[in-house]
Structure 1
Amino acid sequence: MSTLLVPPPVWQARAVCGRPELAPLFAGESADEMAEAARVCAGCPVTGECLDAAMREEGSAPAKDRAYVRGGLTPTERATRYRLSVAPVDVDPGLLAQVEALLRDGLSNHDAGRRAGMSTESVGLIRRALGIPARMTPRPTYPSARAAFTALAAPLGGSHGHIVWKGPEYIRIGTESYTRYSPRRVGFEVAHGRRPQGRLQSFCEHKGCIAGGHATDQTLRDARPRSRRRSAARRRG
């Protein structure tokens, strides 16, 4: 009984990695070796065919069961590519990279979605597809609104006094017990030296600005001249 030998695909003859002097590089598994191999792959005319073949052969295998750089991607990158290909979410590559960076920075699904303009559910699908563990660290707690403001707020620049928030959607203020604070509440308390009364309303044209001087609470609204209150009521009506 004879065994038929299947010839290698035609594209393999054009692969840069087929050069004898490059064989040791593409058999290396260190980070430096794989980085250099990926650089070489970037100039290869058959990178696409190589990657397609690797993805078919490896299927759903985890990164630990994949080896070497193939098609310009490391084992981890190929495993991630597979997980994303079967994830039930269609995301622009640029937006996907932004969401991945936010998740790896430790943001929750909700906070990452808020910054990227994506639903919490879609971010959760991306987290699972990328294999990024759920955030286990508690929300940050600060002794005062001023401390939180110093750590997480920053001026936007320009002459309008806009302030942007660099932290999560909510934080904790307190020592023995804590109170849940929104960024806008932090900004108001720092600016006015007191906690807001009633609902906080922003009148700032810059989305996301938390400057306390760009918002009012019920006390400030009640203190406005009656004529201005009547005008505001007519505008709302």
Structure 2
Amino acid sequence: MTSTGVSDEEILRALLAEDDVSDLAVVRQLGCGYQRVAAIRKQFGLPAYTRGRRASYGSLEEAFTAQTEPVEGGHMRWTGTREKSGTPVLRWRTLLQTAYRVAFLMQYGRDPVGKVFRTCGIPTCVAGLHQADRPMREAHKAGEPPC
């Protein structure tokens, strides 16, 4: 321990507690010196903190896949951001879209017409095959094959 009462092990634990934590965040959390945190980062071969925005996903599909997990029965659970109402939303570059619309686009290769509804009845399922747009619902209602 040093005069601040913080051990090197405590600093190292704070640096490893989260992905890409800044030296300044550790300084503020533990009340130790910035140079000491930087020295411990260097001593243990930890990569330097990168300021600013993190790298974005390479594609819309990559962003969607990274924020979902498969569930039994062919369903897909959304693990990403949600609106206050609970609706799953995907932010990618300048796009802000519901996860349902993105799932539909990825599944059918076209933008949905009108609102997208789940066909499986499982709340918040974002599996592409479980999404239907207005023309698909109208065709189903009329007894026609889906679009």
The TM-score normalised by the length of structure 1 is: 0.33
Q: Which has the larger radius of gyration?
A: 1
In terms of fraction of residues, the more strand-rich structure is: 2
- Asked which structure has the greater RCO (Cα within 8 Å, sep 6+), the reply is 2
In terms of fraction of residues, the more helix-rich structure is: 1
